[in-house]
Structure 1
Amino acid sequence: MGCCLSKSQDSDSAAQQQQQTPQLHVHVYDDDDDDDDTILGKAYEDIKLHFTIAEELCRGESGRIYLCTENSTGLQFACKSISKTSKSDEGYLKREPNIVQLKSVYEDERFMHIVMEHCDGGTLVDRISDRERYTERAAASVFRSVVNALHACHSNGIMHRDLKPENFIFTTDDENATLKATDFGLAFFFEEGKVYEEVVGTPLYMAPELLGPCKYGKEIDIWSAGLILYNLLSGAQPFWAESLYGTLTAIMSREIDFKSDPWPTISSSAKDLIRRMLIRDPNNRITVAQILKHPWLNYENGEARDRPIDTAIISRSNEQTKETCPLKVIVENLPAEENTEAQGTLNNMDTNDSGTPTLR
């Protein structure tokens, strides 16, 4: 699903949209000349018959997100257009409260067009940076939504594989707006107990088992969520480095920093949860169910402190999340001197010269 970052131009329409629960409707015409290559099993249909497509809101690993208006109601939605060569498993999470909701799906010769609710409350990083007062307890409240979304994925047999703060957005600007997960372009169905070998994701949030020998399961999502929590509480990334090679090396060997500010003022319970999520051996890593039961996330008697966290420290997160795009894209855009070193690392993971890192 896509991330929708721009502000709505029509607040009344946006309010009406939030009051309704979008349902999945596949709009296609019956036709005796159905194309055998269709994914939906029906004839192609032009999405523009039903929606007016406006400006691009953002783009992700698997497609671009556009603001669109339903012709029959005037309500605003977001439309993600995905190349039919890179399908994902987004539709199976349409009723989850912390997952962006689908409205309808259209198909033409080149793309699948997924129309979904338009969320204009900004990303998780935006919301934290804009706060005048931010506490550990507030971070716990936000992180519960992250974990609930992850629980919904794993309960449906779906591995996200690209969890990061930019892939969580708020429905509105309201203080109590719902946080929702987006961009399932790298997600896919997994089999319990089976190991996978395709290297995917964003370097800063990649689990060590992705970096060779690459054999992983759903536990990689736990690792990524642990890094989101670390960032929520400190504004920093424990494995950030000046170069891609340095980042990948740090993921494999660097100790987690709990000595720099603001960690001395953060509860031991929060640090315990992070440690359990960032265990390098995936077999010993905490599970989603165990995270939800951790005392730091307890709704009423949780151990998260109400002491303010310095927002100046939190705001530095913007400096350490510049590399939050897919691994291959980063390598291709590095300066020449860094590209050679990083490309060598990437090539060690690539077996077929396809540009998509896989196990050697």
Structure 2
Amino acid sequence: MGSRTSRHQEEPPSPSPDLPTPTRPHPEPPAAAAPAPAPAPFGVTYLVVHRETGKQLACKAIATRKLVRQDDLDDVRREIQIMHHLTGHRNIVELKGAYEDRQSVNLVMELCEGGELFDRIIAKGHYSERAAAALCREIVSVVHACHSMGVMHRDLKPENFLLLNRRENSPLKATDFGLSVFFKPGEIFKDLVGSAYYVAPEVLRRQYGAEADIWSAGVILYILLSGVPPFWAENEDGIFEAILHGYIDFSSDPWPSISPGAKELIKKMLRADPKERFTAAEILNYPWMKEDGAPDKPLDLTVMNRMKQFRAMNKLKKVALKVIAESLSEDEIMGLKEMFKLIDTDNSGTITFEELKAGLPKLGNLGIKISESEVRQLMEAADVDGNGSIDYIEFITATMHMNRVEREEHLYKAFEYFDEDKSGYITVEELEQALKKYNMGDEKTIKEIIGEVDTDKDGRINYDEFVTMMKKDNSEAIQTRRRK
């Protein structure tokens, strides 16, 4: 899942005789939406070079000190087995090998350097229903391959698909199978996994099968055509309620100009009853999904703009919140620091979702009451890459954000971090320089953030505009745009 810059980032794995030589950290794809409520064991991905061939590959290193339970080991083994099982499909990243050394279990796979799904759409400029259908075909072909071979993915979302290279005809590659499982026809699963925007209603009811993947693919198609998710709210619980309610908006822009075939397909993929939902084979055979079946007329520019905003807005906010967290005094974070120590039972400097859950009674002793739903929200705020591990500063950032610790002096410190020349404004250049430190966003994305936050349209962000952005939820911004 996504990249994360932290003080406690894992060191590159020590190579075994068969393992390629690690070079520098290579980020995994970023989170536009909320991570898995029950994440897999975390891993950090590095760029590595094969000693003999010189070929660049990706290496996902999973720290062995985090594999403390039998379930953790089983999860890693299953991910490796599934990737081997699915090898050879054009749209599934190829696992080259799995190795273990003293520090980590290492999954070496082909390197996808073509960028994210949304990045390609935005870079191409011309974007139509036909282009969306082509992308959806590749995604659904992965689902079809998985289901045909007895695998349920369970975490389909745009950021889990990367482009193999930068060429125009580069294939999409499904890159993360950390939550995937083998299944038998008719088998029912009950564990709550997935990512908030994309999770199927039957998953929330803890009674689901492989049809849940079709729902997630339907949500992705809705986003590909409109730029926003079909089910949204101000927090995770609200998103879940919207999913269970099941209302899909086809009246707001750009839907009146979208072809009936596209809307009908989405309805068939997002049927509330899993048994009535289209299968992957039926989707691939649907007329709109055929090579020339969808209209090639460019979609409204608002679709691309929304997609840019949906992808970009959290990046500015995340950096600003991290700046605030790092500037808080010991007195201000003493309670949170004690929380972190209590939860981090193995004193590793990072905490997992399971450690958070296990730490709930301890939090009660501090007079702090947090529901399991809020724990998931905490993971969502901090662990945007879905690795299942939060370091100290990220924990402070997330708990601070969750509890709305947005005091004037903290916001001003964050504003000053971006406003390097102390002019009272954040310019395009200052924003670009700050975000690039965190490997976030290109020049286009940064200009889009300015355009979204800069309400007086003077080409820069003043303090009032910054505060408004910080106090407004990303989902609220989506809601406002959809009402237009």
TM-score band, normalised by the shorter chain?
0.7 to 0.9
Inter-CA distance 72–50: structure 2 relative to 1 (3 Å threshold):
farther
Inter-CA distance 164–337: structure 2 relative to 1 (3 Å threshold):
same
Give the distance between the partners of 2:295 and 2:240, measured in 1 at CA. Answer: 33
- Does the 8 Å contact 1:132/1:311 carry over to 2? no
Matched residue, 1:178: 171
Inter-CA distance 91–111: structure 2 relative to 1 (3 Å threshold):
farther
Residues 294-333 of structure 1 mapped to structure 2, 5 A cutoff: 294-300=286-292, 302=293, 304-320=294-310, 327=376, 329-330=379-380, 333=398
Structure 1: 4+ residue segments shifted above 4 A: 321-324
Matched residue, 1:351: none
1:140 to 123, 133, 137: 133
- Does the 8 Å contact 2:15/2:22 carry over to 1? no
Per-residue deviation at 1:337? 4.6
Per-residue deviation at 1:254? 4.2
What amino acid sits opposite 2:167 in the alignment?
D
Q: What secondary structure sits across from 2:27 in the alignment?
A: strand
The answer on 1:75 being equivalent to 2:55 is: yes
The answer on 1:53 being equivalent to 2:53 is: no
Per-residue deviation at 1:278? 0.4
Matched residue, 2:43: 63
Give the distance between the partners of 1:275 and 1:104, measured in 2 at CA. Answer: 40
Residues 23-102 of structure 1 mapped to structure 2, 5 A cutoff: 46-47=15-16, 50-59=19-28, 62-83=42-63, 84=67, 85=72, 86-87=75-76, 88=79, 89-102=82-95
- Does the 8 Å contact 2:97/2:107 carry over to 1? yes
The answer on 1:153 being equivalent to 2:133 is: no
Give the distance between the partners of 1:315 and 1:151, measured in 2 at CA. Answer: 31
Give the distance between the partners of 2:261 and 2:284, measured in 1 at CA. Answer: 13
Per-residue deviation at 1:251? 0.8
Give the distance between the partners of 1:56 and 1:298, measured in 2 at CA. Answer: 40
| 1:284-323 Cα shifts (integer Å, max 9, x gaps) | 11111111111111124x1x11110124422323444578
Q: What secondary structure sits across from 1:106 in the alignment?
A: strand
Per-residue deviation at 1:247? 0.9
Give unpaired runs (5+ residues) of structure 1. 5-44, 340-360
Q: What secondary structure sits across from 1:58 in the alignment?
A: coil
| 1:152-182 Cα shifts (integer Å, max 9, x gaps) | 1111111110000001111111111111111
Give the distance between the partners of 1:225 and 1:90, measured in 2 at CA. Answer: 20
Matched residue, 2:409: none
2:190 to 193, 197, 204: 197
Give the distance between the partners of 2:43 and 2:25, measured in 1 at CA. Answer: 11
Per-residue deviation at 1:107? 1.6
Inter-CA distance 283–258: structure 2 relative to 1 (3 Å threshold):
same
2:214 to 222, 226, 244: 222
Matched residue, 1:169: 162
Inter-CA distance 271–155: structure 2 relative to 1 (3 Å threshold):
same
- The worse-fitting range, judged by mean Cα deviation, of 237-246 and 269-278 is 237-246
Give the distance between the partners of 2:314 and 2:200, measured in 1 at CA. Answer: 16
The answer on 1:268 being equivalent to 2:260 is: yes
Give unpaired runs (5+ residues) of structure 2. 4-13, 30-39, 316-352, 354-375, 383-397, 406-484
- Does the 8 Å contact 1:131/1:311 carry over to 2? no
Inter-CA distance 104–336: structure 2 relative to 1 (3 Å threshold):
closer
Residues 256-295 of structure 1 mapped to structure 2, 5 A cutoff: 256-295=248-287
Residues 330-349 of structure 1 mapped to structure 2, 5 A cutoff: 330=380, 333=398, 335-337=401-403
Per-residue deviation at 1:196? 0.5
Residue identity over aligned pairs, in percent, reads: 44
Inter-CA distance 92–240: structure 2 relative to 1 (3 Å threshold):
same
| 1:330-357 Cα shifts (integer Å, max 9, x gaps) | 1673634589xxxxxxxxxxxxxxxxxx
Per-residue deviation at 1:281? 1.1
Per-residue deviation at 1:133? 0.9
Q: What secondary structure sits across from 2:247 in the alignment?
A: coil
Matched residue, 1:342: none
Matched residue, 1:238: 230
| 1:87-127 Cα shifts (integer Å, max 9, x gaps) | 12222111111101122221224532111111111111111
Give the distance between the partners of 1:106 and 1:336, measured in 2 at CA. Answer: 39
Per-residue deviation at 1:263? 0.9
Inter-CA distance 198–338: structure 2 relative to 1 (3 Å threshold):
farther
Give the distance between the partners of 1:126 and 1:220, measured in 2 at CA. Answer: 26
Q: What secondary structure sits across from 2:26 in the alignment?
A: strand
Query: Normalised by the size of structure 2, how large is the TM-score?
Result: 0.57
| 1:191-221 Cα shifts (integer Å, max 9, x gaps) | 1101000001111110011112x11000110
Query: Normalised by the size of structure 1, how large is the TM-score?
Result: 0.76
Higher-Rg member (1/2)? 2
Give the distance between the partners of 2:246 and 2:102, measured in 1 at CA. Answer: 48
Inter-CA distance 209–69: structure 2 relative to 1 (3 Å threshold):
same
